[in-house]
Chains A and B, each alone.
Chain A
Amino acid sequence: MTNPIEIHKHRHLKYLRTEILPTAFCSGCGCGTILNIFVNVIDEMGIDPNDIIAVTGIGCSSWIPSPYLAVDTLHTTHGRAIAFATGVKVMKPEKHVVVIAGDGDLSGIGGNHLIHAARRNIDLKVFLVNNFIYGMTGGQVSPTTPKETKTTTTPYGNSEQPFKITELVAAAGANYAARWTTYHIFKLKKAMKESIEKKGFSFIEIISQCPTSYGRKIGQKEGIDQLNHFKANSIDIKNKEKYSEEDLENKIVVGKFVERNRREFVDGLREINKKLAVSN
């Protein structure tokens, strides 16, 4: 039995700038999945897109919000999305300020802004899409590329240690930090909701596939091959203790790393202004 294929449009396309679809993402890229889950989350949470300001940097994953997401969008310079977003959030704390960008952008060139924003605990929702590579520029080694991986700029294998970004952000003081993959779509969705509900710096590292510039080079040609790899190699943080550090080296530890209630940065600034207004 074959089903007739009807022309039907996704109900969440209303959140996208549909005139520029289909996306520019390669077939099987995880960026679109993250976009899909994000609009699903804002729909379920009933968030008005007019209350979202998306800030992004440079790279494939920066294209998730810009241009596709139909909200106020600030597409900034490479690595600086969080710095620009800080100015945005201070002026309009009532808005959801969301930063979506890649591992190279947020943890490479922009790593300093990432840790300082986490330390300040400013109420930004940061979704770092980690595909282990500089994809847009054609597959150069990134701060998250696993050891020994051959990339265009590590032709003899990567001799560096990759960043553990979620651990870094948790240690820097964020109110929420989690890591999931594009395989764990329901858990990722739940984490996105939690992070949006959480006041303070909320961070999710989303391990994602890049079939074109990364997967092909490590023998995982299709997007689905990398998803299967994520599935087979993910370890829930709850079970982390069962493994030695060595065992964990090539695994993806997923789950919620931290959730706490430190005072939020803009609240702190506004408290000062309130006090001064009274004393004057």
Chain B
Amino acid sequence: MAKINKKFKLFIDEELCKGCNICVELCNLHVFDISPKINNKGYYIPVPERIEDCNGCQICELSCPELSLILEEIRL
């Protein structure tokens, strides 16, 4: 397996997320899982369970209707 020199971090702003799951569904690499955890507004927030598969395409970040998904590039 080829070694990649950059990886990504994903953060969910729990205060803003409304659990619409658009990120979960739109991610072609199936990085997210629906969380069993409910935030204080009663929404199930997603978890970037397979972050190692993320290629940083930004589709989750840009399509998030609440600006609650933050994608960050990290250098190894």
Contacts and interface: CB of A to CB of B under 8 A. Distances in A.
Asked if chains A and B are in direct contact (CB within 8 A), the reply is yes
Interface in A205-241: 222-224, 227-228
A40 B19 CA distance: 21
Interface string A20-52: 011101111111110111011000000000000
Interface stretch (A6-14, A79-87, A91-99, A171-179): A6-14
A29 B12 CA distance: 18
A3 B49 contact: yes
A261 to B, nearest CB: 30
Contact of B11 (A8, A189, A224): A8
Nearest to B19: A27
B25 A227 contact: yes
Contacts of B41: 22
Contacts, number: 100
Contact of A10 (B13, B43, B59): B13
B12 to A, nearest CB: 6
Given A23-B65, A25-B65, A36-B65, A8 B15 contact: no
B62 interface: yes
A136 interface: no
A166 interface: no
Contacts of A30: 65
Nearest to A224: B25
A36 B63 contact: yes
B70 interface: yes
B26 A22 contact: no
A35 B48 CA distance: 23
Given A11-B70, A36-B62, A36-B63, A27 B43 contact: yes
Given A26-B18, A186-B59, 20 more contacts: A5-B14, A5-B45, A8-B11, A8-B70, A10-B13, A10-B67, A16-B67, A23-B65, A27-B18, A27-B19, A27-B43, A29-B65, A30-B65, A35-B65, A36-B61, A36-B62, A36-B63, A36-B64, A223-B22, A224-B20
Interface of A: 1-3, 5-13, 16, 21-23, 25-33, 35-37, 39-40, 182, 185-186, 189, 222-224, 227-228
Report, nearest first, the 8 A-B pairs whose CB atoms are least far apart. Answer: A32-B65, A8-B11, A28-B20, A27-B18, A10-B67, A224-B25, A27-B20, A22-B16
